[in-house]
Structure 1
Amino acid sequence: MIDLKNIDDLARKLSELVPPGLKDARADLEQNFKSTLQAGLARLDLVTREEFEVQRAVLQRTREKLDAIERQLAALEARGGVPDRSAN
């Protein structure tokens, strides 16, 4: 999930951009910015960096296994042990 500290920081930065005449409403605006950011990000299908890295490692291992199997199959086909796949 998204780090709430980052959302708080962004909401604070947005509220700092409020013109001087609206400084009284700054706290309310900051809370509204924060709520809006959280709601918008909640609708997105996001994963954490950790989850991403785990899936990336799984994919890498899967690719390595697939490459090894393809090499084995090519060697078998070259020896005539397996019918050629391209003949079908």
Structure 2
Amino acid sequence: MINPAKLEEIAKQITSNMPQGVKNLADTLEGKTKQVLQNKLAEMDFVSREEFDVQSQVLIRTREKLTELEAKVSLLEQQLSAKTDAE
């Protein structure tokens, strides 16, 4: 996703290079442009890198826990099978 701070920096650079008489219009344009860009990016359903990294770590921990639980279930099944065979 595009960094909102970078968008703001670009908008400020554009505004600072405009003639003084146009700056009031530029302020309005800057705000509306940021709003439109943020709305369009939100519609695209992107996630931030931070969100992606957090979810990746959650998935890794979930897989590790699943592996542990599968091993425990397998052990319990073996114990139950051995107990049933002994009876």
TM (norm. structure 1) is 0.50
Distance 1:47 1:53 in 2: 10
Return the structure number with greater helix share.
2
Task: Label 1:34 to 1:8 Cα distance change in 2 as closer, same or farther (>3 A).
Answer: same
Measure how far apart 1:42 and its partner are.
2.3
**Aligned sequence identity (%):** 43
Root-mean-square deviation (CA), in Å? 3.7
- Report the secondary structure of 2:47's partner residue: coil
Distance 1:45 1:60 in 2: 23
Q: Which residue is equivalent to 2:44?
A: 44
- Report the secondary structure of 1:45's partner residue: coil
Measure how far apart 1:46 and its partner are.
2.2
Gaps of 5+ in 2: 12-25
Quick check: 1:7–1:38 contact (8 Å CA) kept in 2? Answer: no
Is 1:70 the counterpart of 2:60 in the alignment? no
Aligned length: 69
Which has the higher Rg, Structure 1 or Structure 2? 2
Q: Deviations over 1:59-78 (max 9, x none)?
A: 11011011111011111112
Gaps of 5+ in 1: 12-26, 84-88
Measure how far apart 1:40 and its partner are.
1.7
Task: Label 1:33 to 1:47 Cα distance change in 2 as closer, same or farther (>3 A).
Answer: same
TM (norm. structure 2) is 0.51
